[in-house]
Every structure is written in C-alpha cells, then in structure tokens.
Structure 1
C-alpha cells in the first residue's frame, strides 16, 4: 500500500472511531417537576391520578424507590446542577432572602446567587461536545442572570447553556392554565428536532405542580365530577395538575420516537422536593399567643401517606421523591432499585455517560449510578450515607434548623433547638430522633432510646460530615426575642451577614 493510500485509510479509521464514540454517547433529557410527591405516581403506589406515561417510563427503564433531594426548590436545583450537597455549595435556602432573625436558634447565612464560575452539568457536558438547552423554572439567581421563572438567555452561556426556551406566558399561570406544561414540552421537542446531529443535553424544568396550583379546566372538571373539591386533602385542581404532568411525559416520548431520538436518549425524571401535603399559616404566631403556640393549616393539597409530612420537611415526605431513569438502547427495562441514592449522583452519572472527566476543582459528592443500574450492585453504595442540612426556619412548612443522615435502613434527625411536632405544636429544646425506614416508613416509631449504639454512631457520623463540609451546628440565637420569634422578614437585620 502506498503512502498516500495508507494516510487516507488512517484518516478514515480515525474518523470512523470518532463517529462511533460520538454515536455511543446518549442524549440526556433531564425532567424536573416542581413539588411532586413520591406517592403521586401509580408506579409508586398512587391510586387517585392515572399516570400511564410515567408508569410506562418506569416499565421501560429503572425506578428508584429510595431517591432523595432537598426539601425545597432552590437547594435541590443547586444540588442537581452542581453535583454537590448544599452544605458544600451553601445554597440551602430558597431565594430571594427571607429569614427569622429573632427566632430561638440562629440561622446560618447562605449563598443567594448561583455563581457564574460554578461548574454545572450543562457547562461540563458542553465541554464534552454536547449541545445544551434549558426550558422552564430557574430559581437560582435574581438579577441579570435570571429569576424564579427562567434563566436569562443573554447570560445563559455563563451556566453552560447554548439555548434557553422562551419563558412561559403569564396567562398560563391563571386559572385554567397549565403553568406552561405544554409550552415547555413543545419547546423541548423543537430543540431536539433542531439538534438531532447530537449529542444533546436538555434540562426541562416544569413549574407544575407548584402553587398557586392551576390546571386545564377539562382536567379539573374530571376530578370535580369524581367528588373531589377545592378543599384538601386531594384537591381537584391539584389532581388535574398531576395528570397534566403525565400527559407531558407521553408527549415527550412520542415526540422523541417520531424524531428517531428515543432509543439513544437517557431520560431522567424526578421532582425537586416532596409533595405539598399542607401549607401552614404562621401569621397567627406573630400575635400574642399561648405558651405552646401552634401553626394553623392554610391549605391542604395532597395526602403523602405512607410518608410523613411533605414539602419543606426533613421527614421522608419532604425529601424522598420519584426518580425514573430510562435508556432503551442499553439499560434494563422494569428494574426496581431500593438502594438509597441522591440528586448529587446525577451529575457524575451524566459525566460518565458523556465520557467526560469532571474539572479538577469541582468536588462531587455523589457517585455514578451506571453500574448500579446495569449490575444491580456497586460497592460505592454499600453503607453510603445520605445527608440533609437545613440550618434555617421556614414556617410555611414547619421547618426549624435541623440536619439528618441515613445509612442503610436507619435515619437519624437532629433538631438543633426547637421544632414543630406532628400536630404543628411548637416545642422547645434540642432533639434527636431515630427511625428504621424498612420497618417504619412513616417515621412514627422513634428508636432513639432503644437503639443507643446506632444513635451515637450516626450522630458522630453526621457531625463529622458537617465539620468536613465546614458548616456549623446552629446555636441558640443571641438576638432571640420570644415575642418576635415567629416573625418572618425580607429585610436583613444588621447582624445578618454573608456566608
């Protein structure tokens, strides 16, 4: 073979290898819903709202029964995009700032803007050759970079996105609207159609089922006719909104199949926190109250049983969510994984799928889920702890400064100085609780006195992790004013400092 022919052959071989590598990397569609609880899907035990499309997604892929996020919007979104626990990225509070500066326990200052130099899934996948896009809720900045509703297209590249869908029109949030479910779904499919040369990464971040809950009239009427009303638990409009989400998943899958992208696309579906069981009204506590104040229930949306509590809570109803992952071309169908996993695991999983090595200065707190999915086991997950750190008050959900750790079946919760009990009654004092989630999913049987060895071991492990993350255990507040303890403000007092 002559030299020129040999050179041409070598070029063709290298091009072929490059093409094979490119086509072996899947597209990634990350779908995040807002405030959708673990029990709202049929495949997770839901019996009220039909979710055939999500159930079919689970049947064609992998369903995780013990998947965790944080208990509220901003922290989960920061965790998801960074691959870091909020104790590391410091975004453990919903933005913009609000707080309880006169409460019994001091709140730990938090980061209020996602930094432009924070490596995100999108930024790193773009480095790996992916075209990246986003549609929907952002809620990680306030200002020129974006806001609650959407990322600013002009500055999206700072966070790794090539494309930003048009924000949902305001009318879609009015009664009868769908909070932009169809709007965002359509723009997602338009992005896919325009980038089929691949690979691509798309982050579809729904506004549904966050309040004020609205839903298409025909869907709401369906549940009204079934006897559900505008009062909870299980409000008709809330049920209708859940069904609208399922319709979106069906539309996405049908669209991907029509475009020939379905088999080569990893679909990841999860919620940003547990479902809203009730939203609490703390205004009554800002008036003269008895020695044992109690939060009033403002609105009751959905019954999260068998999980305890809901959005904003460190109990399972606040932090355990549905997680479904599907890759028809390579992953098993109908697999159920009971190993505890966390949103921090999704970034390293995406990087592995893309053949991307994370940037050196990006500390990742999670593990790649691929081997767990394909083989069912992975030593990285043996006795692997799952952490929560919420050093804040959010009285809408009865949240007081706390942290938790889960290892195996046991979960320990530490309340740093006060709490609201299951009846929303305010209780003073530091408290540790311990539950065996395998035997007591509803967290009703506190084992803190009967399992002292487990309690002490997990508590040491939790505190060691907090020290490693360089975050404090909140102390009693030197500015505590009992008469103003439940006063929430958006005005920073002089002692509130930046982290």
Structure 2
C-alpha cells in the first residue's frame, strides 16, 4: 500500500473524526456495481485497448484494490453485498430463477429462491441510521411481484430498505440501445439533486456489460475504425460498452462536483463477477458432455485464469475502488485481499451504526485500509459454489484463500475452462497467487500438508455456516449428466 505522509494522515484522521462525530452530517454513500466486467477492463488495471478516465479518476483520488473478491455470478454477489454474508450462510449461491442438473455426477445443494422481505439488508441498516436510500438498476434478487432480474418494484422497495427506485424503463431496454446506461445515470442524477440536503445511500447497479453487449453506434464505429473485430475477443462493441460505462460514471461524478457533494460522499466501484472470457454451448453439452464447445468469446481476463462463472481468479477477482475525500489517501494501491462481505461492516462503521444483535456478519470493516493507517487481522476468504453451470464450465466446488495461498476443491468432477474437456473424480488444486497469479502450477501434490490443512479449514467453515458439503449423486446418469432441467430467463 502506498505510504501516507504525516500531513495526509492527520488530515484524514481529523476528517474521519468530524464525519463520524455526533454533531456532523454523516457521509453520503454511493455503490456503483457494473455487470460482468473484468478487472482488466479498466485502464487503471491495465486495459491496453480502452481508456477509462472517469473510473481512473476515482482510483487517482482514492484507493484501488488489486485483490478484491466477489462470487463468480450475478445473484450471489448482489446477495453478498446486501446481506454482508457469504453464500454458504445466506443460501443465495445460485442465480435465480433456479435451474439444475439432476443427473450430474455430484448432487447439487439446493439454494434459496430469493431474498425475503424480512431479511436484514445493508439498505435497512443505513435507512435506520438516518439515510435516504435508493435502488437504481438491476435487482435480480427476487422472482416475484416484488422485483425481477431488471429492477426492484417501487411498491415493494420499502420492504427491502429502499425509499426509492428508478422509474421503469421501456420494454426490452436491456436488450436494445445502450442497456439503459444513460437513463439510469439520469435517474441517479435526479436522486442526487433531490436528496442533497440529507445523508443518502445510492445503490446504482448497471446492466452493462452483460450480454447482449450493446453500446452507442458512434462508439462502436470508433473502435471498428481502430481495427477491432466485429465479434470475438476484444470486439468493437464490447470495448465501446466499456467506454460508454465510463462516460456515464463521469456524468455522475460531475454532478457530485456541481452539487458540491464530492467531499462528503464515499463512492465505491466494483463489479459482480469477472468478465465473460468464454461461454460454452449448453445444448451441445447435453449430446456430448465429454467435450464442451465454445460459442462466445468477449474479453480476456489475463493474467487471471478463466472468467465469469469460474472458481479461478478470472471469475472472482474484480476491480474495487473507493474514493472518500479526506479519508482515502489519493493514489493508494492496496494488495490486501478483501471481499464483498466487507462492504456492510465498513459502511456501517462509516454511518455510525451496526447490525442487529445476533446477526452474523462474515466480513470486517475496511476502514484501516481506507484510511491507510492500519492493517486487517489475518483471515481467510471463502467461496462456496455447490452447483453446475455448463455455460461457464463450472462444477460443484469451494475455495479458500489464506495469504498468498488459494485452494480449490472440486467435489466430484471437473471441466477445463480452456478446452471444455470433462473429467470425473475429486480434485484439489493449490496455488501460490504471489508467484502464480494465472493458477497454472498446481502445488497440491508438493504441498500436501498445507493443502490438507486448508481443505480441513474450508470444510469446517462450510459446516459452521450451516451449509452442506456436496456428495456424489445417487441418480448419476452419464448419458444425461450435463442436461439442464429448466431454462433461465436471463443468464
């Protein structure tokens, strides 16, 4: 982490004390969540194809995390952020509506159908602390009248701790135009204008860059003129969508400047999972489960391995940037591993509140890192993914990261994210991420004692959360093992 000079430390500490003092207005909070975007998609993380000056501005003025983690798919990450709990505890480890593979080699563990009205959420805690709260954009945490993939309904918002939601967009908005990026940004701008006089929490969840990837035609033409392809890896539309997203964030940041809210607003930026590197054909997998075929490629997550839907780093390591003027030392780069479960305890400390007594919080406050004046206690990060998803070559697995070391346990079978080749059998993989960020050198055989201890801690954690360790499926049928029982409305 970048070192803090004495003057910056004194100013930051004084500002934090003022912000959290009883007589001071609490800081505003904005959480910007982008869909399906790789860490490397931002120029501040090394994108050589697209400049993202507005997100880079957040990094320049705040703290950029190199080892920030989420879950490998949409619904679980959103549930993790709002509940402050790992999926093994909140039971939201699968995208909704649910689908499954009942004849696969490993028996999938059943998950929750969605967040319930009585669940304790980040928004409820901040609202109770005096914040005006808004949920603008993608919801994907219920499949009933309360909300769907696209949005939380206005009528149900109060049951989930939100005072307002964005006005409904036109039909099929996320399938056309710019996926509602400009409209949601303008809705967010109005939220800022209407609530400038009181502490607010804005949860802004964009649909971009989820497929179908869309962007304004003039931006697509710009990248086509630069020689980028119409389809495939690093295609012109994908790169244009990144730039368009960055422009929209610039509009929001400029509005904060205009309203003189910048210095009193903590802005968080992250994505819900890694970028879509390769997708496999689900229909062909049913007829030939031993060798999956790729049917879509969009953006390379290198040097991270694999992408969306994967237990490897490309699926779960994402960009995360926090800007809080006067608190986050400008231009800080933090290499401490952090997780989406940390947002709730951090933001509750910011707001001067806490979770209800007895509520299990799985994360820790990141305030020592944000201030730049301390470290976190040594801890492990956990990942629980007991399901199949052929699109992303995913089989039931769980993972643990301790320091530089990461262990993945595949409970009964495996699909290579590079080749699509299927193989049966339990599998342990151990990597030293400091020397092997691409997870190419499996050290489980050489480091047997370390692997065994990490595996034991992983199993102990799963049980402690009240979750189930996947087992072999008594209904296993090789002829139908990768046949999916239902279709999802959104992937």
TM-based fold match above 0.5: yes
Alignment of 1:14-33 (within 5 A): 21=22, 23-33=24-34
- Contact kept, 8 Å, 1:136 with 1:167, in 2: the verdict is no
- Distance in 1 separating the partners of 2:328 and 2:422: 48
Alignment of 1:3-402 (within 5 A): 21=22, 23-170=24-171, 172-175=173-176, 177-287=177-287, 289=288, 293-380=290-377, 382=378, 384-402=379-397
- Distance in 2 separating the partners of 1:476 and 1:19: 51
- Distance in 1 separating the partners of 2:388 and 2:213: 24
- The 1:259/1:324 distance shift into structure 2, 3 A limit, reads same
- Distance in 1 separating the partners of 2:437 and 2:235: 25
- Distance in 1 separating the partners of 2:32 and 2:20: 28
Q: 2:477 aligns to what?
A: 481
Q: 1:454 aligns to what?
A: 450
- Contact kept, 8 Å, 2:20 with 2:351, in 1: the verdict is no
- The 1:58/1:379 distance shift into structure 2, 3 A limit, reads closer
- Distance in 2 separating the partners of 1:280 and 1:391: 19
- Distance in 2 separating the partners of 1:237 and 1:87: 36
Residues 143-182 of structure 1, C-alpha deviations (whole Å, 9 max, x = no match): 111000000110110100001111332354345x111111
Deviation at 1:80, TM superposition (A): 0.4
Q: 2:437 aligns to what?
A: 441
1:467 pairs with 2:463: yes
TM-score by length of 1: 0.92
Residues 279-330 of structure 1, C-alpha deviations (whole Å, 9 max, x = no match): 110211222x4xx711110110011111100000000000000000011133
- Distance in 2 separating the partners of 1:108 and 1:174: 32
- Contact kept, 8 Å, 1:28 with 1:200, in 2: the verdict is yes
Which deviates more from structure 2 when the two are superposed, residues 466-475 or residues 397-406?
Answer: 466-475
Deviation at 1:491, TM superposition (A): 8.2
The gaps in structure 1 that reach 5 residues or longer are 1-16, 493-499
Q: 1:407 aligns to what?
A: 402
Question: Size of the alignment, in residue pairs?
Answer: 470
- Contact kept, 8 Å, 1:268 with 1:323, in 2: the verdict is yes
Deviation at 1:376, TM superposition (A): 4.6
TM-score by length of 2: 0.93
The gaps in structure 2 that reach 5 residues or longer are 1-17
Deviation at 1:373, TM superposition (A): 1.7
- Distance in 2 separating the partners of 1:293 and 1:19: 57
- Distance in 2 separating the partners of 1:326 and 1:97: 36
- Distance in 1 separating the partners of 2:90 and 2:428: 26
- Distance in 2 separating the partners of 1:482 and 1:100: 12
- The 1:308/1:22 distance shift into structure 2, 3 A limit, reads farther
Residues 330-357 of structure 1, C-alpha deviations (whole Å, 9 max, x = no match): 3211111100000000001110000002
> What SS does the aligned partner of 1:253 have?
helix
> What SS does the aligned partner of 1:21 have?
coil
Deviation at 1:489, TM superposition (A): 1.5
- Distance in 2 separating the partners of 1:443 and 1:344: 24
> What SS does the aligned partner of 2:224 have?
helix
Q: 1:427 aligns to what?
A: 423
- Distance in 2 separating the partners of 1:352 and 1:139: 27
> What SS does the aligned partner of 1:153 have?
coil
- Contact kept, 8 Å, 1:23 with 1:199, in 2: the verdict is no
Please tell me whether Structure 1 or Structure 2 has the larger radius of gyration of its CA atoms: 1
- The 1:491/1:236 distance shift into structure 2, 3 A limit, reads closer
- Distance in 2 separating the partners of 1:318 and 1:286: 24
- Contact kept, 8 Å, 1:22 with 1:199, in 2: the verdict is no
- Contact kept, 8 Å, 2:135 with 2:203, in 1: the verdict is yes
Q: 2:4 aligns to what?
A: none
- The 1:19/1:461 distance shift into structure 2, 3 A limit, reads closer
- Contact kept, 8 Å, 2:139 with 2:205, in 1: the verdict is yes
The CA RMSD over aligned residues, in Å, is 1.6
- The 1:181/1:23 distance shift into structure 2, 3 A limit, reads farther
